[in-house]
Amino acid sequence: MTWDVYRTSSSHNSNLGGIMIVIAGGSFAANAFIAQFLTQAGVSAEWVVVARVCIAAAFFTVISIPKACLSVNDRKLGVINAMLLLASLFTYFESIAHGAKPAQAVALMYLYPLWTLLLSRILQGTKFGLQALTASIAGATGAALTTGFWAEDTAAGAYAGFAFAGVNGMLLAMMVYIGRSREGGSVVDGYRFARFSFLVASAGAALYVLTTVLVRDGVTGASPKTQPVLVLILLTGLVGTALPYLLIYVGAPRVGAVGASILLLSEPLIVVIVSLILYRSSIAPLQLFGIVLILAAGAVAFRAQRRPSEAT
């Protein structure tokens, strides 16, 4: 078994799933730009995390799909996924709070294709060939290089921040693996799974807010008040959270955990391209090399989807 790239025998379904994952990565990229404006507005990262989860949960609840319910297994996976979701959102800003610079934290997070590969090996016993391993390493390395992390000064005592960032990447890999492992690969199945996961996550977010209010007299930082800020938070909840996770839950069963983790690296690629357009910023040779590595890894992943004989 060389690749655990997709679960269906249809090349059309696997290609469609791959496109969904690429779009999901692009949607995640929107968060990088929205976060800059929210930070400048003085909005607490904790408020943003809680708002993202609750907005996504509200979206999936309002636009509901009736009839069949989730299986017992998917409900169990949904609860685990919700806990991982909350943990992944909080560990990022904890990494920054503990001294890691944003570029350094993101670079460590982008190692998640390697964690996904390891998870598939441990939990499934999947034996990957040189092609899958090379693509995962190339993609993760390329994504890290696009951040320009080497230009950031390392703060004293930032190792705790680096640890949080590394854990963040592991949590994302676990969520991708869960998205691949759940039952059913239709859009309706993925939507139901997303709705259940975010409803559980929103309950956890509400509990967090209640706890912080009781323990330390409120969430730190400014709360969102002005109309532009509220619009941006709405966008990060819908475009940067609800949409990409839904696409992952629908696309991952079609392309598999390893393929999905590589194709999700469209996020740093789009961040760099949009930054060049919006800010007319220059690009370092290493960043350019990182883009080439991401494109090469993505091309390998898409090519592997065309070989049904290697599917699991």
Q: What is the pLDDT of residues 197-210, one digit of tens each?
A: 999 999 999 888 77
Model pTM? Answer: 0.88
Whether residue 9 has pLDDT greater than 60: no
* Residue scoring higher pLDDT (100 or 308): 100
Domain regions of the chain by residue span = 11-310
Average pLDDT, the chain: 83
Could you tell me the CA-to-CA distances from 277 to 38, 241, 282, 288, 297 in Å, in that order?
A: 21, 24, 10, 15, 24
- Model confidence over 146-176: pLDDT tens digits? 998 888 777 777 889 899 999 999 999 999 9
